[in-house]
A and B are shown apart, each in its own frame.
Chain A
């Protein structure tokens, strides 16, 4: 079992709709969770982080964390074509400083 799992996609969402990206992790004690966005040909860019159970909102982005179920999700409201990218989930396991990445979900927003 991979430490951090994501559906590779592609996930196709119409413009203006909500895009929902999901990630599960294996280390139950993990404490920190991150979402990165990577445009084609560019480096990953940190867009959200969450540490506590529940929701964290930043503009059109909402990160949701459920430690009991070991999943973290990213919601993008009012999706725009510029949101089309690969989204990487990353986890910092307990007692470690190393950050583990999932393989990413490719999101495509269709006009």
Chain B
């Protein structure tokens, strides 16, 4: 596709429910990132996938958060038993080699509100 896409664009859920957020990276990009951004705050790194390597999960805030990337393309971020503090914008980005350099592009984000 032309860019990184994410779905849904907005999600409202009740505390305690599970949610799944989807990311479609740019075709051919080997790296995929998930970030979280609360209102007025910076990017909080969550998880990083690179090719077939084991993902870097160092940013996941708790074991309620997990992510997978199927077939080296689409990724799903799952939040179990959501809490109000999980409310944020969840951003996905993919990167690939352009002019022999790694370049990263962001999707539009999923705005999650936990009531």
A positions within 8 Å CB-CB of B: 31-32, 34, 36, 42-46, 49, 51, 88, 90, 92, 97-99, 101-104
Contact = CB atoms under 8 A, between A and B. Distances in A.
A86 B104 CA distance: 17
Given A88-B43, A98-B31, A101-B42, A51 B101 contact: yes
B71 to A, nearest CB: 19
Nearest to A8: B42
B26 interface: no
Report which residue of A31, A34, A90, A98 has the largest number of chain B beta carbons within 10 angstroms of its beta carbon. Answer: A98
A43 B108 contact: yes
Contacts of A49: 101, 103
Interface in B23-47: 30-31, 33, 42-43, 45
B43 A92 contact: no
A100 to B, nearest CB: 8
Contacts of A88: 42-43
Contacts of A44: 43, 91, 106
B104 A43 contact: no
B48 interface: yes
